[in-house]
């Protein structure tokens, strides 16, 4: 699936694959050159982002995810480590990478032009990705593209606050925190 996705997607804010070569022993990927490293590294080195810098990075991430979703791709493992920077500066372009856990939604399964249908889609059920970035729907094993948007919310929190919003030494406690979060968020925004 990863190689099919790499061959099919081409976007300014997605790490582009220029060539794939396959031998009996190996698969070689000719990828776009990136000099800035992971977004996580820059966050660790330079501290939390200003709202302006975070907004710039998130706009690029959302544009990349909007494109992926329009192509029927759900990333499922969005995190700071899977976002690269073209240069070692906060103002450089961001590139979403690592499609090893991505899923392709069959073309006829969803009308991508109907926003309500996309929000309502629940055709995926595997728990893939990094637990700290799981959306509640992923834990309920009935989800769709919306899990990528949740993960981007976790990324934004990290950029602005410098830590993950949910953390625990056990996955079961972490998952309880995530599952309770929609009710907690509703209360916060109702005030």
| 73, 185, 157, 33: CA torsion to nearest 10 | 0
77 is catalytic: yes
Of 136, 25, 118, nearest in space to 72 by CA: 118
Rounded to an integer, what distance in angstroms lies between the CA atom of residue 58 and that of residue 151?
Answer: 11
Rounded to an integer, what distance in angstroms lies between the CA atom of residue 62 and that of residue 56?
Answer: 10
User: What are the Cα distances from residue 123, in Å, to 76, 89, 103, 143?
Assistant: 13, 39, 11, 6
Of 163, 178, 139, nearest in space to 48 by CA: 163
Rounded to an integer, what distance in angstroms lies between the CA atom of residue 120 and that of residue 143?
Answer: 8
Asked if 84 and 34 touch (Cβ cutoff 8 Å), the reply is: yes
Catalytic-labelled residue, pool 53, 77, 111, 114? 77
Rounded to an integer, what distance in angstroms lies between the CA atom of residue 162 and that of residue 147?
Answer: 21
Placement of tokens 């949740």 in the chain = 150
Active site residues: 77
């Amino acid at each position: 699936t990863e190689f099919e996705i790499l061959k099919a997607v081409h976007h300014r804010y997605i790490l582009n694959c220029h060539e794939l070569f396959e031998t009996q022993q190996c698969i070689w990927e000719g990828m776009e050159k990136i000099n800035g490293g992971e977004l996580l590294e820059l966050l660790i080195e330079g501290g939390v982002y200003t709202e302006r810098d975070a907004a710039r990075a998130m706009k690029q991430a959302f544009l990349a995810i909007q494109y992926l979703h329009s192509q029927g791709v759900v990333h499922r493992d969005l995190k700071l480590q899977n976002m690269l920077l073209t240069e070692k500066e906060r103002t450089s372009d961001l590139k979403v990478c690592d499609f090893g856990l991505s899923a392709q939604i069959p073309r006829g399964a969803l009308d991508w032009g109907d926003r309500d249908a996309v929000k309502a889609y629940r055709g995926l059920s595997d728990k893939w990705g990094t637990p700290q970035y799981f959306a509640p729907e992923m834990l309920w094993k009935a989800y769709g593209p919306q899990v990528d948007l949740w993960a981007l919310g976790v990324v934004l929190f990290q950029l602005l606050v410098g830590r993950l919003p949910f953390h625990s030494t056990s996955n079961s406690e972490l998952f309880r925190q995530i599952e309770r979060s929609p009710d907690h968020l509703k209360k916060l925004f109702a005030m």
